[in-house]
Structure 1
Amino acid sequence: MVTTATHGTAGIMMKSCKSKSAALLTGIAKWLIENNKVNTDFITTHTSGFEPLKQWLTEKLWTDIEQGCGMCSITGLT
C-alpha cells in the first residue's frame, strides 16, 4: 500500500517478478488513459506530443505490457 498526503492510502498492490521499468510505466500510463485519470489541463499547458503517445498506448495490448514488465499480478485498481 502507498500513502500520500493528498489522497491517503492508495489501494494498489503490484507483485513484480523482475524489474522492467519502461514496460511498467507504459502499463500505468495506459491504465490512466483508459480510466480517464489524466489531467488534460496540465498536459495541454505543460507538455507537447501527448496525442501521439495516447494513440501509441491505445494500440498497446495488455498481454504485451504484462510480459514486458514481468508483472505476476496487479490488483486493487479501481
Structure 2
Amino acid sequence: MAFPKELYNAKFVEYIESLKILYLVDDKFKVICDDYCSSKMKTEKYKKKFEKYFQHKLEFENLSKELEDEILIYLIRKG
C-alpha cells in the first residue's frame, strides 16, 4: 500500500518516519490519515474550480460594464 503524498507536509516533517509506520500498522490512524488526504485533495479541486469561475465572473463583470457604457452612450446620442 502506497503512502499518500498528501502526508508529506511541513507540519509532519519531523514525524515522517513515525507517520509512515503508524499509517501501515494502525488502522484507526490510517483512516484519519486517509480522511485528511481526501480533504486536502477536495480542497485543491475546489480551489481550482473557484479560481476558474472567479476569472469567468470578472470577465463577465467587465463585459457587462462595457456594455452598460455602450448602451448609455447610444441612449444619449439618440435621445
TM-score computed with the length of structure 1 as normaliser: 0.24
Please identify which structure carries the higher strand content: 1
Structure with the greater alpha carbon radius of gyration: 2
Which of structures 1 and 2 has the larger relative contact order (alpha carbons within 8 angstroms, sep 6+)? Answer: 1
User: Is the helix fraction higher in 1 or 2?
Assistant: 2
